[in-house]
Amino acid sequence: DGGITQSPKYLFRKEGQNVTLSCEQNLNHDAMYWYRQDPGQGLRLIYYSQIVNDFQKGDIAEGYSVSREKKESFPLTVTSAQKNPTAFYLCASMDRAHYNEQFFGPGTRLTVL
Amino acid sequence: DQQVKQNSPSLSVQEGRISILNCDYTNSMFDYFLWYKKYPAEGPTFLISISSIKDKNEDGRFTVFLNKSAKHLSLHIVPSQPGDSAVYFCAARESGGSNYKLTFGKGTLLTVNP
């Protein structure tokens, strides 16, 4: 059963702590993405990666970091430098051979207290 | 600067009637457009798409129309069902070197009343 998994569904952290959000896909997709959704803001691109060991900043990369050591995995770290980290985070992947549609995971709701 | 605009934050329609969701864009380099549907606390799911070489694409109850000269697209849902109640995002892909990225609108909340 192919798909994208994000864990956990809900995450709570204290202010000032770094936190890493997991994203795993078994679709054999080359490209992976991280988005943030805030009420009334749509989906904003944080980072994306087209191939292993390579990634680029999106529109709102400040305060975030990523790694892409394996094709299946694209973890996102929300650092203490991110001023407003509380949001719904979505991971997506895409097959570069058919680069028309991105498939999304179920999302992680991060709340920083 | 918003390149993809969904100017209606919400839309309410009666079950069985037509729902029309609108999307405008400013970037003339966009060559592929997608609609996603999203329920609360879930990831978006792909609904329908259209290439810039077409002006219409149909899939069951869902039809997307593209007017390139007006830089406008719309999603028609006929007939609307209560299960269609969700947020609908319009997205666009740019041709050329940035074609791995999608630019999303802010979404329109559709409510279909029984």
Q: What is the pLDDT of residues A85-100, one digit of tens each?
A: 999 999 999 987 766 7
For residue B111, pLDDT beyond 70: yes
Task: Kindly list the residues from chain A whose CB atom is less than 8 angstroms away from the CB atom of residue B46.
Answer: 101-103
Residue of B nearest to A99 (CA): B100
C-alpha A52/C-alpha B103 separation (Å) is 23
Mutate to test the interface with B, among A36, A95, A104 (most CBs of B within 10 A): A104
- Residue B98: predicted pLDDT: 60
- Residue B101: predicted pLDDT: 84
- Residue A113: predicted pLDDT: 87
The model's confidence at residue A68, banded by pLDDT at 50, 70 and 90, is: very high
- Residue A41: predicted pLDDT: 83
Cα B40 to chain centroid distance, Å, stands at 17
For residue A35, pLDDT beyond 80: yes
- Residue A39: predicted pLDDT: 83
Largest CA distance in chain A: 42
